[in-house]
Structure 1
Amino acid sequence: MRVLVTGANGYVGRAVVASLAHRGHEPIAMVRTRGKEIAGAERVRVADLLDHESLCRAVQDVDAVCHLAGLTRARESVEHPLRYFRVNTAGTLGLLDAMARGGVHRLVFASTGSIYGTPDRQPMTEDLPAAPPHPYAGSKLAAELAIEAQCGAGELSALIIRMLNVAGGDDPDPTRLIPRAISATTGESVLAVNGDGSAVRDYLHIADAADAFAAGIDHLPALGHSATYNVGSGAGSSVNDVIVAVERATGQRVSVESRPPAAEPGILISDPSRAIAELEWSPGRSSIDAIVQDAWSTVSASH
């Protein structure tokens, strides 16, 4: 199947292209600007979510779309909410319109588990009500609603994947916990830890995340229908767990600076059991030690 991957030059996008190629699909990489070669891509098409003509060109002659392009930083979205709704919501509307005009009716959409907010019930299942805590989550939820409406109109078959914390490999975001903890083993920086380090999060290996999108392409519902899946490890790791895992992998001590407790959820864990049962997928590489070891190996190889 010819699959257009939007955001193909991003952290998850590159991994999705590689996973699709491994499964025998023909991934076509959609990027905003040409840059490094994207391993596994059959072709590269330059387009922007906010440029409708370029989107119409990008979807020509494809069978399906994996839509990963967008803005993803929750804190930044609080400061620039309109930008997030413009790119994540309006950009998705533009893509849906281009797909409809081009006769493309299959979509796998990258969404976020943060849509659930901070529910008391953990792990989080797909039947929890939406309670987006910031504009990033809100913009993704609005895009989901548009996708579901297009399915309801009989124009689309869609699979929505809600992820939390993707990690491992060549993570380009130095603000995330695992890259910061690894950096704090060199003596050049310290890891600031809020409170006692007991906050628990669900970490998903980048390769497991990518394989979920490829599995989604192979398990799309019938035309006119949508399905939503949580994709995560199903296990929680505290900040302290991450620190210990980094120290095990590197053999070095993580320099920690203790800070006052922050107003943040104590625990957020995704329940991926539906995805495991229905997509023939599993988070087999997503133990915290495997994720950290992979991240450390990538950092070591680059030096």
Structure 2
Amino acid sequence: MRVLVTGAAGYLGAAVVSALMEAGHDAVAMVHSPQSNIAHVTEIRVADLLDPVALRRAVDGVDAVCHLAGLTRVRESMTDPLRYFGVNTVGTIALLDAMASAEVPRFVFASTGAIYGDVSGRAITEDLPDNPPHPHGSSKLAAEKAVEAHDAAAVVLRLSNVAGGRDPDPTRLVPRVLSAAARNEPLEVNGDGTTVRDYVHVSDAANAFVAGLEHLPPPGVTERYAIGSGRGTSVRQVVAAVEKVSARRVALIHRPAVPEPSSSVADPAKAMDQLDWVPMYSDIEAIVDQMWHA
């Protein structure tokens, strides 16, 4: 298939491009800047999610769309919520409109497991109620509702915390701990460091998009999948993994706890069963080892 990947210059988007090409598909990269450089891509198209004319050109001649472009920082969404709804929700609707005009019938959407909110330690499955705790999650949920109303064959991937490779985001936990180890600096953490999250390797996450594309439901049907390693890792366990790999101690400075779920771990059983997808690289120590040596 000839597949348009929005957000192709991003951390996960570039990995999706590579995974598609390795699986034998032609990947067309949609980027925001003409200066973007993406290796091994079939073609690069410049467009903005809020530019309908450019979007229509971007989807021309493709068979499917993997939509990863969007805003992702939770705290930023709390201070600038309308921008998040504008890009994540309105931008997705504009893309769906462009696809309808071009008769592009297949769609895989990058959403977030944060939509579930505080699940009280339960494993995240697709049948849990939606309870987004911030504008980022709410904007993604609204976009999902638009996808469901569209007549494409669609897969929604609710992603856990993506890690591994060369993660460029210094606000995420694993890069922060690695940076502290590299600089011999203390690490500030909220609370006692026992909050638990699910970390999925960027290659596993990218392969989920290929699997979703190759196992789409019938036209007009949207299927949702929780994508994660299925294993929970606490902040302290991430720090321990970094200390083991780097052979350096990371001192912790404990700040006051903030309101957040104590545990958030995906159960990827549905994706493993229906998409034939397996998280192969998502062991936290392997993730940390790769990132440290990168």
Interval of TM-score (by shorter of Structure 1 and Structure 2): over 0.9
Alignment of 1:82-161 (within 5 A): 82-120=82-120, 122-150=122-150, 155-161=151-157
Give the superposition deviation at 1:254: 1.3
Q: Distance in 1 between matches of 2:2 and 2:241?
A: 39
Aligned to 1:9, what secondary structure does the other structure show? coil
Letter in 1 for 2:227: V
CA contact (8 A) 1:66 1:108 kept: yes
Aligned to 1:22: 22
CA contact (8 A) 1:182 1:254 kept: no
Matched-pair contact (CA < 8 Å) for 1:164–1:232: yes
**Alpha-carbon displacement from aligned partner over 1:215-271 (angstroms, at most 9, x marks no partner):** 111011111111000000000000010001001111111132122222221111111
Superposed CA RMSD in Å reads 1.0
Contact 2:198 2:230 in 1 (8 A): yes
Distance 1:209 1:196 in 2: 29
1:121 Cα deviation from its structure 2 partner: 5.1
Q: Which residue of 1 aligns with 2:208?
A: 212
Paired residue secondary structure (2:266): coil
Name the structure 2 match of 1:257: 253
What pairs with 1:237-276 in structure 2 (closer than 5 Å)?
A: 237-276=233-272
Q: Which amino acid aligns with 2:137?
A: A
Per-residue CA deviations over 1:190-230 (Å, capped at 9, x if unaligned) read 21022221110000000000000011110111111110000
CA–CA distance in structure 2, aligned partners of residues 92 and 189 of structure 1: 41
Q: 2: CA distance between counterparts of 1:275 and 1:39?
A: 29
Aligned-pair distance for 1:188?
A: 5.2
Decide whether aligned partners of structure 1 residues 120 and 73 sit closer, same or farther in structure 2, where only a CA change above 3 A counts.
same
State yes or no: 1:284 paired with 2:280: yes
2:287 maps to amino acid: I
2:224 aligns with one of 225, 228, 239:
228
CA distance in 1, matches of 2:206, 2:183: 33
Q: Which residue of 2 aligns with 1:301?
A: none
> C-alpha distance in 1, partners of 2:204/2:87?
26
Identify the match of residue 172 of structure 1 among 165, 168, 171: 168
In the alignment, the residues of structure 2 paired with residue 47 and residue 207 of structure 1 have an alpha-carbon distance, to the nearest angstrom, of 25
| 1:186 alignment partner, SS class | helix
Equivalences, count: 294
- Paired residues for 1:63-82 under 5 Å: 63-82=63-82
Residue type of the alignment partner of 2:132? P
Could you say which residue in structure 1 is the equivalent of 2:52?
52
Percent of aligned positions with the same letter in both sequences? 55
Mapped partners of 2:111, 2:32: distance in 1:
20
Deviation string, structure 1 residues 4-62 (Cα, Å, up to 9, x no partner):
00000000000000000000000000000023421231000000000000000000000
**SS class of match (1:262):** coil
- Give the aligned residue type for 2:125: T
- The separation in 2 between residues aligned to 1:188 and 1:197, in whole angstroms, is 19
Following superposition, the deviation at residue 122 of structure 1 comes to 1.4
C-alpha distance in structure 1 between counterparts of 2:257 and 2:85, whole Å: 31
Amino acid of the structure 1 residue aligned with 2:165: G
- Asked if 2 retains the 8 angstrom alpha-carbon contact of 1:163 and 1:232, the reply is yes
Query: In structure 1, which of residues 193, 200, 219 is the aligned counterpart of residue 196 of structure 2?
Result: 200
Within 2, Cα distance between the matches of 1:281 and 1:218?
11
Q: Distance in 2 between matches of 1:297 and 1:190?
A: 20
Q: Aligned with 1:184: secondary structure?
A: helix
Query: Contact conserved, 1:184 with 1:256, CA < 8 A, in 2?
Result: no
Change (3 A) 1:241 1:121: closer
Which segments of 5 or more consecutive residues in structure 2 lack a partner in the other structure?
none
User: Counterparts of 2:181 and 2:293 in 1: how far apart (Å)?
Assistant: 14
